Chains A and B, each alone.
Chain A
Amino acid sequence: MSAIIKPDEADDLLGRELRGELPDERGRFGPFGGRYVPETLVPAFDRLEAGVHEHLHEPSFQAEYRRELREWVGRPTALTHAPRLSERWGADVWLKREDLAHTGAHKINNAIGQALLARRLGARRVIAETGAGQHGVASAAACARVGLPCTVYMGAVDIERQAPNVDRMRRLGAEVVAVTAGDATLRAAIDEALRVWVSDPDGIYYILGSAVGAHPYPYLVRELHRVIGEEAREQMQRQAGGLPDAAFACVGGGSNAIGLFYPMLNDDTELIGVEAGGTGSGLGQNAATLATGTPGVLQGTYTIILQDGDGQVQETHSISAGLDYSGVGPEHALLQSVGRVRYISATDDEALAALEELCEFEGILTALETSHAFSAARDWARENPGKRLLIGNSGRGDKDMPTLTKFPAKVRSHAGA
């Protein structure tokens, strides 16, 4: 299980990835991925994998899923030109508007897809974890839509900083359970959801919310989000006159990024994932997993994780709950190691500044997670003038108001205008 990929292996793996051959039959993206789960869950994962193979690309499932995306989620989401940002940055800036999807973020693509799958697989109830609350809200809504009871596990720290989403989940019929163990954020919520699943592997369907975890989740979540990139490619060609020179997406577990990037892997587009740089480069000060992490096994998958020399997973810091995670999807680990996607980070302060700029110049309150991608895109635009940029605007920022109130808005007077 070596993560050191030799140059000739990297070429071979990149070729297989570009041809759509990964993950392999063992759930591997090169050395990354796999299935490291307790024995009690092995039969449940076997059933899930068989169910994914049976249903996911089957025409009647796809017809049902596409109809829900169109009529309930509101897809395709818009591609929006950003003329004032373009002028400021010296670039041609386009935004893929996942914030306009039902419930306010890309998360709904995956949640409704997995809820439909859960119903086909005969689940009695659904569980989900959530960090920022967007996946919890999406799961609650999707379960209400398909008629399955939903319980959402959420870290106590996140419950506090994403309070509006907790209320939304409850109104959508979900039970919200606070997780106080461990770091009381997303990682602890996933651990707890796995424990609950172990108690009833036959009756429970677990809607995992990011492209992380054991096989087949990274594959399943990617397949349910690739609609983002497929739409964006088509819209860029039609509206912007061509594919982007560079595309940006924020990366926590990496679900919106893999959804945007995967259909563009074969394009001549530079792909840049942006992680949470937090308050600094020290261990525990950020969630820049790919930038500073090392290979290890976390929550069912072999990937890059933030850990100490003893293999203890480290706590992270980010102003955005959705990026505050010590691991990253195994496919991103591969894409970094073979050099197809570059991963960089933006700090808390840079993300806040980008959020303000997008509000002020384009009238869009974006999520704190998404703001990281804007910050990196602006820096890139200034170094590469005159280019066409695509930014995955993965979610809206209304949920971040409790955090944002700590940074008072400018008080303006327009009387003399």
Chain B
Amino acid sequence: MQAHERVTAAIRAANDEGRTALIPFITAGYPERGRFAETLERVAAAGDVVEIGIPFSDPMADGMTIQRSSFEALRQGVSLAWIFDEIEAAKDAIRAPLVMMSYLNPLLQFGYERLAERAKATGVCAFIVPDLPYEESAEFRSALEAEGLGLVQLVTPASPVERLEMLGQASRGFVYAVTITGITGGDAGLPDDLAGYLDQVSGLSPLPVCAGFGIRAAADVRNVGRHAAGAIVGSALVEVLEKGEDPTAFLESLRSA
């Protein structure tokens, strides 16, 4: 099984148990750099797949929560090389497949081949790169493919149907369906026409579709779970960690039907 197929399998396994797959997102090294590995282990124990955010100086697709977490993690000296070392040290305690979310420039400076090698060695299975549209991604995808890693494609309510189809076919691991036309961390609720959109995306890809952006509570997970294989919870979890609250209890509360 290739690394990106582990992600797909983990989501399908949750669905087979009658659950919506839960994909928690954390910003690496936030709120405390020294507790990253511990936080990762706890979140991984409660999630089916874990999305690890790489802090970046210019998070242009993110709202206030992820921006704040990103700037603070950078202030504490978090870097991609350090994140890989931490994950490597913790990997025997982590069963959920890991996915990295990063803006392109930190990956570019790290070097694509070195990145793919480190990812494979540390159990990172796939990447989500919010400022890398498919048309610019050939070089990055080929470096990932050489190690069996995947590039998760994002689709949005603004994507025309032919793009949904193209991205649904091109994606690896799962398809990341952005629920709203906007940035992360919104609290305006999920759009009314979400079901039709998620059904459409699901119908256009062989991969499971996971919904993200604006998912904050159990009701949201139930809501998207009727039309998508998984739910991605980012800003709401980062806020829980920021307040020093228990991430396990929060993630379990999202599963309570």
Interface residues of A (CB under 8 A from B): 1, 26, 34-44, 181-182, 187, 191, 194-195, 198-202, 296-300, 305, 307, 309-314
Contacts and interface: CB of A to CB of B under 8 A. Distances in A.
Contacts of B135: 26, 35
Contacts of A309: 109
Interface of B: 56-64, 67, 71, 74, 79-81, 103-110, 130-133, 135-136, 139, 153-156, 158-160, 163, 167, 178, 181-183
B80 A40 contact: no
B131 A300 contact: yes
A313 B139 contact: no
25 contacts: A35-B136, A36-B104, A37-B131, A39-B154, A39-B155, A40-B178, A41-B158, A182-B57, A182-B71, A191-B60, A195-B62, A198-B183, A199-B183, A297-B108, A298-B105, A310-B79, A310-B81, A310-B110, A311-B80, A311-B105, A311-B106, A311-B108, A311-B110, A313-B57, A314-B57
B79 A42 contact: no
Residue from A1, A38, A195 having most chain B Cβ neighbours under 10 A: A38
Contacts of B57: 182, 312-314
B58 A296 contact: no
Contacts of B61: 38, 40, 195, 198
B58 A313 contact: yes
A38 B136 CA distance: 12
B131 to A, nearest CB: 5
B24 to A, nearest CB: 22
B156 A39 contact: yes
Given A38-B61, A310-B80, A43 B159 contact: yes
4 residue pairs, one from A and one from B, having the closest CB atoms? A311-B109, A311-B106, A311-B105, A199-B182
Given A39-B155, A310-B79, A311-B56, 7 more contacts: A39-B133, A39-B154, A41-B158, A44-B158, A182-B57, A191-B59, A307-B109
A35 B134 CA distance: 10
A124 B144 CA distance: 41
A25 to B, nearest CB: 11
A305 B135 CA distance: 22
Contacts of B107: 311
Contacts of B154: 38-39
Contacts of A199: 181-183
Contact of B156 (A40, A187, A202, A310): A40
B28 to A, nearest CB: 12
A396 B156 CA distance: 44
A44 B163 CA distance: 13
A300 B159 CA distance: 18
A42 B131 CA distance: 10
Contacts of B56: 311-312
A305 B57 CA distance: 13
A384 B58 CA distance: 42
Contacts of B158: 39-44, 201-202
Contact of A297 (B71, B80, B104): B104
Nearest to A314: B57
Contacts of A307: 105, 109
B131 A36 contact: yes
Contacts of B105: 296-298, 305, 307, 311, 313
B142 to A, nearest CB: 12
A200 B181 contact: yes
Contact of B133 (A42, A187, A299, A313): A42
A38 B60 contact: yes
A182 B105 CA distance: 17
Contacts of A194: 60
Contacts of A300: 131
Contacts of B109: 296, 307, 309-311
A195 B64 CA distance: 11
Contacts of A298: 58, 105
Given A37-B131, A39-B159, A312-B56, A201 B181 contact: yes
Contacts of B79: 310
